[in-house]
C-alpha cells in the first residue's frame, strides 16, 4: 500500500488534531514510519488493527520518481515540448509551474532555483509522461465537469476550494499579494470583483473566483479549469496540483505571522 492508497482509507477530515494537521501528510508519515495510526482520533481500534496489516514502510515517492524518470528516458523531448507548453533548451525541457521555472533533463533529473518537493517532481514528470495534445479552448468548467471529476468533486471542494476560501477570508489582501507571486492576474470578466487567472502548468490554467461573505450569503470560492485540463493530467493529479497552490499560500501566511 502506498501513501495515496492509505490516504483513501483514512477519515480524510483534515481535522488538524494530529502532528501533521492534514490527512495526506499523515499518510506519508505513516508510510515512512514517522507516525502511528493511533494518533488519528477518528480511526476505530478495528480500523487501526486492519490498516497495520497493510502498511509497508517505504518512501514510495522516491520509488515513483525513479519509475517516472525511467519512463522519461524514452520520450523525445523535441516532439512533446510544444504540445505541453515547454521550451526546449538544448536537450532539456524548461517548464513553468506556478510562476517558477523547472529544468528537466533527458534522464528526468529536475532542477530549479530553491527547494523542490518530491511531489512536485512527481507532478512534473507525470505531466511530461502524459504528453497531452490539445489547444486550450478558453472555455471554463468546474472540476466536476472534467473526465472522472464528478467522482472526486467532493474531495476537490474539501481539499482545495474550501481551504483557499478560509485563507481568503482570513487575510484577503495578503493572499492577493501571495497569489501574484505565482503569476496570478486579475480578471474582470467574471461575476465577482475577485477573479484571478493562474497558470498552474503551461497547459493547465485556472480561474479562481472568490465571493466574500455579506449579509445574505457566506463566502465562496470556485476554481475553474479549461475544458482540456484532463488531457494533460488525471483528476487525482489535478487535485494535488491545486492543493500545492493552497499549501504554498498557507505556508507563506504562517511564516508572515
Give yes or no: residues 37 and 98 share one domain. Answer: no
Give yes or no: residues 103 and 147 share one domain. Answer: no
Is residue 117, in this structure, part of any structural domain at all? yes
Q: Which residues contact 89 (CB under 8 A, 6 or more apart)?
A: 103
Is residue 252, in this structure, part of any structural domain at all? yes
Give yes or no: residues 162 and 211 share one domain. Answer: yes
Q: Which residues contact 142 (CB under 8 A, 6 or more apart)?
A: 149, 153, 222, 223, 224, 225
Last residue of a domain, one of 58, 74, 92: 58
| Per-residue pLDDT tens digits of the chain, which is 257 residues long | 677 788 888 988 889 888 888 888 888 888 777 788 888 999 988 888 888 888 765 566 788 899 999 999 999 999 999 999 999 999 999 999 988 999 999 999 999 998 888 888 999 999 999 999 999 999 999 999 999 999 999 999 999 999 999 999 999 999 999 999 889 999 999 999 999 999 999 999 999 999 999 999 999 999 999 999 999 999 999 998 999 899 889 888 887 76
Give yes or no: residues 173 and 98 share one domain. Answer: no
Give yes or no: residues 119 and 159 share one domain. Answer: no
- Does the pTM exceed 0.85? no
Give yes or no: residues 119 and 167 share one domain. Answer: no
Is residue 94, in this structure, part of any structural domain at all? yes
Is residue 135, in this structure, part of any structural domain at all? no
Q: What span, in angstroms and rounded, lies between the C-alpha atoms of 59 and 57?
A: 7
For 29, the domain range is: 3-58
Q: What span, in angstroms and rounded, lies between the C-alpha atoms of 205 and 199?
A: 4
Give yes or no: residues 182 and 237 share one domain. Answer: yes
Partnered with residue 206 across adjacent β-strands are 198, 225
Q: How far is CA 124 from CA 119, 129, 131, in A?
A: 9, 9, 11
Amino acid at each position: 500500500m502506498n501513501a495515496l492508497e492509505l490516504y483513501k482509507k483514512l477519515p480524510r477530515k483534515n481535522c488538524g488534531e494530529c502532528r501533521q494537521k492534514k490527512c495526506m501528510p499523515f499518510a506519508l508519515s505513516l508510510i515512512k514510519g514517522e507516525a502511528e495510526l493511533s494518533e488519528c482520533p477518528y480511526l476505530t481500534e478495528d480500523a487501526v488493527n486492519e490498516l497495520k496489516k497493510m502498511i509497508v514502510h517505504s518512501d514510495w515517492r522516491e520509488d515513483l520518481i525513479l519509475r517516472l524518470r525511467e519512463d522519461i528516458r524514452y520520450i523525445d523531448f523535441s516532439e512533446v515540448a510544444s504540445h505541453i507548453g515547454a521550451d526546449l533548451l538544448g536537450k532539456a525541457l524548461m517548464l513553468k509551474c506556478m510562476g517558477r521555472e523547472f529544468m528537466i533533463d533527458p534522464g528526468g533529473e529536475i532542477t530549479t532555483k530553491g527547494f523542490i518537493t518530491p511531489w512536485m517532481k512527481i507532478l512534473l514528470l507525470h505531466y511530461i509522461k502524459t504528453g497531452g495534445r490539445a489547444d486550450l479552448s478558453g472555455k471554463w468548467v468546474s472540476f466536476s465537469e472534467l473526465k472522472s471529476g464528478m467522482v472526486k468533486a467532493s474531495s476537490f471542494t474539501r481539499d482545495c476550494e474550501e481551504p483557499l476560501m478560509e485563507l481568503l477570508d482570513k487575510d484577503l489582501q495578503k493572499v492577493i499579494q501571495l497569489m501574484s507571486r505565482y503569476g496570478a492576474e486579475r480578471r474582470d470578466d467574471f461575476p465577482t470583483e475577485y477573479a484571478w487567472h493562474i497558470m498552474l502548468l503551461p497547459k493547465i490554467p485556472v480561474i479562481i473566483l472568490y465571493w466574500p461573505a455579506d449579509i445574505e450569503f457566506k463566502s465562496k470560492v470556485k476554481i475553474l479549469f479549461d475544458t482540456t485540463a484532463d488531457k494533460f493530467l488525471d483528476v487525482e493529479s489535478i487535485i494535488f496540483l491545486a492543493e500545492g497552490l493552497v499549501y504554498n499560500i498557507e505556508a507563506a501566511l504562517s511564516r508572515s505571522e
